[in-house]
């Protein structure tokens, strides 16, 4: 399942240690008692820019937003007091364009810059440029950025501060040949990652020489694209660990403290999908030891801001320093391929208790190929873990996102997974649970019957509504005196029979031998439909329906395509011709919108199944497109630099 996804899902359980303050306020908490600046420029976009601007407004501080040309109508631009375009869509020409941003600072006379996360938040050169213009960088000083923003130097400093570190090569890898030599010396598997990177970009796991060469190429390209720095390092890959982070705070008087942890082990491509606090895996002794080492590292670089120290933790609770982010950690990426498009409908579940949503979009917003595919961060909290999980389940069911593909189904499936509920997780959780990719929720028989009963009720309700128009009867499509509706329902290529009847707002549906009572308001104009099925409350979404009985229903997080017909219509439908599916074995189409980075073949070349054909970059991640079978290249329909859409033809084989 490909898609653009709902951002980090943070499950915050606050039972035994009290509720933690919202993390986005930590950095600005020290500013609440004193108005420090008159105007701040926010050097970021999306939800983090919105959060910073919102906080500034509460403090009476004016804000300046920067944006690329494609972000001109973004929410953060509308929220700010002023806005300056800093270049075209590619990040290297806009949000990483230091010259244009410095010019915006001079033009607007901003006294300080808040970098958010990503982009220039850990760029020492940017901090130096600001200092030269007597502009305050809201974050740590340049020394800390240099020390902690560079993975190589940070690892050396961690060793010196007696912080546990992962074995590896403590220098810059020059080329693919040296990468192979170093990997062999360390011993496979190894992790190849960008020295200046973060957020999962420029990271690859290699299990042999060939994967090391490919990993070096992709990681250096991603690192250069995302951070303007293609330096790489290699270290031992700790197989099947947990990823746990410690939040630290430091001031300019040499004080530092740690404020507990977040479990971030549910990941895809080294990017977080679900975060949870506190971790149910840590005991008090391990938590304290990790916190003390995090503080030791912060003090070693005279850290004076909010930051995150990341650790890998093995099954025996041994922990190893991974990296320190000189900012608050919360970016999110996807499980699968990204999706772009326009949000035709968007509704956050803020009417539910214990729910917070951090977003930077609204109905009508465009999701672009140029930036991270994050819609929002959905956070729930409760008095204990069980309550927080239940609230997350309800929030996901009540989240309305139309126009783009999202990852609500995956997130919902993770939080109800028995392994996750027990806390039996690691960074390999998703690949272990879904080795062939996530296909959506697998319905039990009772859940299937619930869905069929709901679909039957929706169909009959829509038919009954179609008979009424301004209190006048239309010519009925179905006989108005029909007491029982004999229906045929197609789901997953299986046909089921059902008989439905209604009494007011309740439908009685007999399907596959089970009789279910389904009650709702049946207001088909609302995006959310609260349905009671034999005493079980469900929130469903009817995403689409047409005159041919086709419906898309979001049920238990997953979207199911259902076709409901009357018995007579189903009998007549047997005479209709079906469209023959396209033979895709000899063609390669783009599975996502993006930019072609490289094309590895030309007409006449013979390729083997699985051989790389081209590389497409989408949302700052590079994806290798491979041949589906062995054959000769007939034609190539793309070249490096081309922008392609989802489904565009790339290469044909004979």
- Residues marked active site are found at 323
- Among 619, 626, 627, 624, smallest CA distance to 594 is for 619
Report the SS3 class of residue 300.
helix
How far is residue 44's CA from residue 115's CA, in Å, rounded to a whole number?
6
Q: Could you check whether the bond before residue 189 is cis, i.e. omega within 30 degrees of 0?
A: yes
Instruction: Determine how β-strand 39-42 pairs with β-strand 112-114.
Output: parallel
Give me the residue label for tokens 């995150």. Answer: 308
Quickly list DSSP for 410-457.
Answer: HHHHHHH-HHHHHT---TTHHHHH-TT--------HHHHHHHHHHHHH
Token pair recorded at residue 240:
């099947």
Token pair recorded at residue 432:
């272990």
The secondary structure of residue 92, as a DSSP letter, is: G
Report the SS3 class of residue 137.
strand
Token pair recorded at residue 257:
């403290």
Report the SS3 class of residue 230.
coil
At residue 222's C-alpha, the angle toward residues 601 and 627, to 5°, is 30
Distance of CA 233 to the CA centre of its chain: 26
* Neighbouring residues of 579: CB distance < 8 A, sequence distance ≥ 6: none
Q: Could you check whether the bond before residue 390 is cis, i.e. omega within 30 degrees of 0?
A: no
Do 126 and 141 meet the contact criterion of CB atoms below 8 Å apart?
Answer: no
How far is residue 270's CA from residue 533's CA, in Å, rounded to a whole number?
40
How far is residue 394's CA from residue 384's CA, in Å, rounded to a whole number?
16
For residues 1-14, one letter each, b for 16 or more C-beta atoms within 10 angstroms of the residue's C-beta and e for the rest, the string is: bbbbbbbbbbbbbb
Quickly list DSSP for 24-73.
Answer: GGTTTGGGTTS---SEEEE---HHHHHHHHHHHHHHT-EEEEEE-GGGTT
Do 61 and 37 meet the contact criterion of CB atoms below 8 Å apart?
Answer: yes
CB atoms near residue 528 (< 10 Å) = 17
How far is residue 67's CA from residue 186's CA, in Å, rounded to a whole number?
43
């Amino acid at each position: 399942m490909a898609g653009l996804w709902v951002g980090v899902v943070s499950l915050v359980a606050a039972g035994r240690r009290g509720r933690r303050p919202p993390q986005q306020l930590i950095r600005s908490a020290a500013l609440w008692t004193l108005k420090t600046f008159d105007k701040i420029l926010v050097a970021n976009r999306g939800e983090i820019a919105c959060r910073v601007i919102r906080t500034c407004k509460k403090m009476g501080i004016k804000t300046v937003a920067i944006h690329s040309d494609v972000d001109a109508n973004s929410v953060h631009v509308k929220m700010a007091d002023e806005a300056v375009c800093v270049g075209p869509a590619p990040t290297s020409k806009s949000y990483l364009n230091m010259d244009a941003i410095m010019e915006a600072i001079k033009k607007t006379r901003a006294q300080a810059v808040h970098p958010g996360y990503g982009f220039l938040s850990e760029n020492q050169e940017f901090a130096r440029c600001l200092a030269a213009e007597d502009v305050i960088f809201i974050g740590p000083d340049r020394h800390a950025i240099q020390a902690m923003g560079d993975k190589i130097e940070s690892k050396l400093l961690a060793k010196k501060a007696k912080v546990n570190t992962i074995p590896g090569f403590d220098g810059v890898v020059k080329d693919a040949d040296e990468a192979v030599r170093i990997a062999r010396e360390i011993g496979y598997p190894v992790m190849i990652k960008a020295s200046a990177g973060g957020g999962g970009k420029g990271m690859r796991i290699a299990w042999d020489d060939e994967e090391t060469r490919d990993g070096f190429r992709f990681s250096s390209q991603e690192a250069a694209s995302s951070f303007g720095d293609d330096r790489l390092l290699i270290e031992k890959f700790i197989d099947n660990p947990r990823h746990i982070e410690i939040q630290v705070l430091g001031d300019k008087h040499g004080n530092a403290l740690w404020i507990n942890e977040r479990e971030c082990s549910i990941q895809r491509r080294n990017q977080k999908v679900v975060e949870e606090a506190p971790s149910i895996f840590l005991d008090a002794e391990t938590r304290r030891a990790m916190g003390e080492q995090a503080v030791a590292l912060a003090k070693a670089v005279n850290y004076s801001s909010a930051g995150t120290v990341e650790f890998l933790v093995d099954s025996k609770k041994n922990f190893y320093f991974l990296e320190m982010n000189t900012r608050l950690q919360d970016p999110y990426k996807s499980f699968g391929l990204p999706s772009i498009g326009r949000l035709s409908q968007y509704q956050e579940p803020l009417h539910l208790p214990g729910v917070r949503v951090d977003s930077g979009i609204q109905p009508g917003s465009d999701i672009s190929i140029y930036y991270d595919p994050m819609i929002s961060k959905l956070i729930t909290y409760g008095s204990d873990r069980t309550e927080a999980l239940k609230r997350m389940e309800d929030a996901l069911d009540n989240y309305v996102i139309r126009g783009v593909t999202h990852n609500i189904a995956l997130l919902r499936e993770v939080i109800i997974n028995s392994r996750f509920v027990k806390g039996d997780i690691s960074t390999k959780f998703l690949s272990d649970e879904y080795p062939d990719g996530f296909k959506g929720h697998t319905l039990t028989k009772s859940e299937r019957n619930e869905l069929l009963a709901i679909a039957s009720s929706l169909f009959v309700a829509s038919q009954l509504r179609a008979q009424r128009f301004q209190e006048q009867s239309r010519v009925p499509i179905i006989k108005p005196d029909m007491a029982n509706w004999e229906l045929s329902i197609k789901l997953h290529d299986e046909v089921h029979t059902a008989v439905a009847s209604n009494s007011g707002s309740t439908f009685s549906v007999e399907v596959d031998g089970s009789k279910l009572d389904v009650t709702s308001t049946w207001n088909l104009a609302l995006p959310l439909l609260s349905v009671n099925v034999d005493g079980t409350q469900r929130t469903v979404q009817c995403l689409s329906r047409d005159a041919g009985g086709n419906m898309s229903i979001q049920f238990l997080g997953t979207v199911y395509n259902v076709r409901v017909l009357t018995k007579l219509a189903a009998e007549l439908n047997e005479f209709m011709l079906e469209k023959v599916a396209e033979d895709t074995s000899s063609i390669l189409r783009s599975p996502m919108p993006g930019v072609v980075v490289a094309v590895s073949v030309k007409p006449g070349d013979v390729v083997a199944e699985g051989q790389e054909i081209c590389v497409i970059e989408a949302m700052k991640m590079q994806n290798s497109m491979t041949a589906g079978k062995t054959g000769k290249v007939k034609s190539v329909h793309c070249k490096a630099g081309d922008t392609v859409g989802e489904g565009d033809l790339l290469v044909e084989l004979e």
